[in-house]
Amino acid sequence: MPDLIAKPALGRAPMTMAATTLAEAAWTRITSIAPFPGQAGSISAALAPLDLSFPPANRFVQSAFGRIAWSGREQAFLFGPEAPPNLAAAVTDQSDAWVMLDLTGPQAQAVLARLVPLDLRAATPGMAFRTALNHMPLLVMVDHAQVFRLLTFRSMARTAWHELQDALSGIDARLGLKA
């Protein structure tokens, strides 16, 4: 009996304009960890072997093993490793619930400024924000001033791609005026 074939949310090749690239990130395990009341500390202790701790609001914590990003009220997403067993938390698989898009390059902030109602001056490395990508839900993680990882609902992947591409093409056309 053949195994079922996994498919990416989009399966599109990266797209580059104005030296800025939009790419679909490879599948990663994502586990939602929502500590039960008063348990955030014990979660941090359990994450210690991964060199991670439960992140404060609007932050992610990165280690050689993986990343854990604040993803909302009393909730964080663990990227990469499996969640430690027996956490005093609700643990839910979210790996397939999101499309992950990487936006990289000198115009990345300008692209976000067209779709995300966030003050990007606060977008320093290590930040993770819950906000909106135009009309879609968004978790955005800042790896670098020019490197952003965007998560939105997997079923909306095409719209997200399309809107990011539109924003970038408008910026590219503006840059063409100066050139």
Judged by the rule CB under 8 A, the positions of this chain that interact with other proteins are 1-9, 27, 32, 34, 36-37, 40, 56-58, 70, 72-75, 89-98, 113-114, 116-122, 129-132, 134-138, 153-160, 162-163, 166-167, 169-170, 172-174, 176-177
Query: What sign has the CA pseudo-torsion 100, 153, 22, 175?
Result: negative
Count Cβ atoms below 10 Å from residue 12 Cβ, excluding itself.
15
As measured in angstroms, the least distance from the Cβ of 15 to other proteins is 14
Least separation in angstroms between CB 163 and other proteins: 7
CA dist 43 to 36, 57, 76, 109, 126, Å? 10, 15, 11, 33, 20
Q: Hey, how many other C-beta atoms are within 10 angstroms of the C-beta on 101?
A: 24
Q: How far is the CB of 64 from other proteins (least distance, A)?
A: 26
- Given the complex with other proteins, which of 64 and 121 has the nearer CB atom? 121
Q: Between 14 and 117, whose beta carbon lies closer to other proteins?
A: 117
- Residue 70's DSSP bridge partners are 76
